[in-house]
Amino acid sequence: MTSKLHRNPPFRAEHLGSLLRPKDLIEKRTAFEKKQLSLEDLTKREDEAIKEIVQVQLDTGLRSISDGEYRRHQFWGTFFPTLQGMEIYQNPSIELFRSYLPDIAAFTEVQHNPEESVFCTGKIKHTGKSDNLRQYEYVKSLLPKERWGDVKITLPAPEWYHMRYKEGKAYTKDAYSNDQEYYDDLAVAYQTELELLYQAGLRNVQIDDPNMAYFCSESMIAGWKEDKTNSLTVEQQLDAYIALYNKCIEKHVDKMHIGLHICRGNFVGSRHFSEGGYDRIAVKLFQSLNVSTYYLEYDTPRAGGFEPLAHLPANKNVICGVVTSKFPKIEDKKEMIDRVTKAADMVAKGTGETREKALERMGVSPQCGFASHVLGNALEIEDMKKKLKLVREIADEIWPGQP
């Protein structure tokens, strides 16, 4: 893997994929879910809204283009349910979940059980159909061919559902007898998904993973240790997930730009789920996981300091999410520039290079998407546009003339 930040993804000014939806689109999706609107009418409004939000990104001067995740209800989309062997269950028992995972703990705190979840009930296999492919093809249709490589599609983390459930509850015994069998088939499904997207021309993939930040959470770690049903230590489970990641992407990591976004979650009112710096996982995260780029949350002290960036290898990139996507207050541009340069100093410290050299492998972004779920965060579309413009302005001051 080589750093190509100056002309290929990732770019100096980035965003994380999900963008706030127009209110009428939210209303139409709600009507569709209540069977009060046809799929054709919903799709027509989605097409219009995507065209509008793509133009917003172009007008802001962003190179990385997404559809805002406008066809999704949640950031993870529909990848898992479209796999053979995976089924959606409505109102699953809270007893199936690891209660000490930060998001599950937040749900139960407000007496909000997961309304639906996905379980493995048979052998996992890709069906050859991909909603992500449909999303990519439509965005392509809105751009000239030379911009197709700038389109970014986000995928859910491969361990997303597995980690939520207590050990052995992610799949039935009829499907798999152990985690490794489950991981192996899931990895092949990811490989197939990536190949479908690659053949269609996609070159820019971002995997979204709030779960990875849970390994930085003191409360999660304490809960894991107290849970006697866990046969693996926290460290062993992290190793298993990193191995799963590497298997999922091994056939495409040198053909596509694959990045990993880590944040601490969004809930009602822009509430985050977890806290804790990257210190606990930095060595394994940066040196064992074979992605090219890390999109890291860095907007508040809950993500810790920049010191873990000293472990970033010289052939990898980091995008510093110093602008919050949770609230409307606009950050001070000079302060944000100072934070990015401080992060660069840590990157440089780890490799023995200059700040200027380290900055060649860096960019800036909001700390997360603006709408991980359909209702979005606690700000308005005009606030979001100002935030995206600020990201572009920060990048232009640090890296003049670069995308």
Q: Positive or negative, the Cα torsion across 220, 83, 207, 386?
A: negative
CA distance 138 to 173: 40
Residue 188 pLDDT > 90: yes
- Percent pLDDT > 90 in the chain is 84
* Stretch 326-353: mean pLDDT: 97
In angstroms, what CA-CA distances link 77 with 137, 158, 215?
16, 13, 23
Identify whether the C-beta of residue 263 lies closer than 8 Å to the C-beta of residue 368.
Answer: yes
Tokens of 296: 């890291």
Identify whether the C-beta of residue 259 lies closer than 8 Å to the C-beta of residue 285.
Answer: no
pLDDT bin (cut points 50, 70, 90) of residue 376 is: confident
Q: DSSP of 227-276, one letter per residue?
A: -TT--S-HHHHHHHHHHHHHHHHTTTTTTSEEEEEE----BGGGB-----
Looking at 107-116, 225-234, 255-264, 384-393, which range is the least confident one?
Answer: 107-116
Query: In a 10 Å sphere around its CB, with 0-12 CB exposed, 13-18 middle and 19+ buried, how is residue 351 labelled?
Result: middle
Task: Name, in order, each residue with C-beta under 8 angstroms of 257's C-beta and a sequence gap of 6 or more.
Answer: 4, 8, 9, 10, 203, 204, 205, 292, 293
Task: Tell the CATH topology of 23-398.
Answer: TIM Barrel (3.20.20)
Looking at 58-67, 163-172, 275-284, 394-403, which range is the least confident one?
Answer: 275-284
Q: Positive or negative, the Cα torsion across 126, 127, 131, 135?
A: positive
Tokens of 315: 């052939």
pLDDT digits (tens, 9 = 90+) for 130-161: 999 999 999 999 999 999 999 999 999 999 99
Distance of CA 166 to the CA centre of its chain: 23
Residue 6 pLDDT > 80: no
Q: What is the predicted pLDDT for the residue at 4?
A: 43
Residue 65 DSSP class = B
Residue 276 pLDDT > 90: no
pLDDT digits (tens, 9 = 90+) for 93-120: 888 999 999 888 876 665 566 778 999 9
Residue 205 DSSP class = E
pLDDT bin (cut points 50, 70, 90) of residue 337 is: very high
Q: Name the phi and psi angles at 109, rounded to 5.
A: -60, -35
pLDDT bin (cut points 50, 70, 90) of residue 271 is: low
* Stretch 263-277: mean pLDDT: 64
Q: Name the phi and psi angles at 88, rounded to 5.
A: -80, 130
Task: Name, in order, each residue with C-beta under 8 angstroms of 317's C-beta and a sequence gap of 6 or more.
Answer: 3, 5, 10, 259, 292, 293, 294, 361, 362, 363
Identify whether the C-beta of residue 230 lies closer than 8 Å to the C-beta of residue 224.
Answer: yes
pLDDT bin (cut points 50, 70, 90) of residue 32 is: very high
Residue 317 pLDDT > 90: yes
Domain ranges of the chain: 23-398
CA distance 166 to 230: 8
Distance of CA 196 to the CA centre of its chain: 20
Q: DSSP of 121-184, one letter per residue?
A: EEEEE--S--HHHHHHHHHHHTS-GGGGGGB-EEEE-TTHHHHHBPTT-SB-TTT-SSHHHHHH
pLDDT digits (tens, 9 = 90+) for 42-92: 999 999 999 999 999 999 999 999 999 999 998 889 999 999 999 999 889
- Percent pLDDT > 70 in the chain is 94
Residue 261 pLDDT > 80: yes
Q: What is the predicted pLDDT for the residue at 111?
A: 57
* Stretch 317-340: mean pLDDT: 96
pLDDT bin (cut points 50, 70, 90) of residue 302 is: confident
Q: What is the predicted pLDDT for the residue at 368?
A: 93
Average pLDDT over the chain reads 93
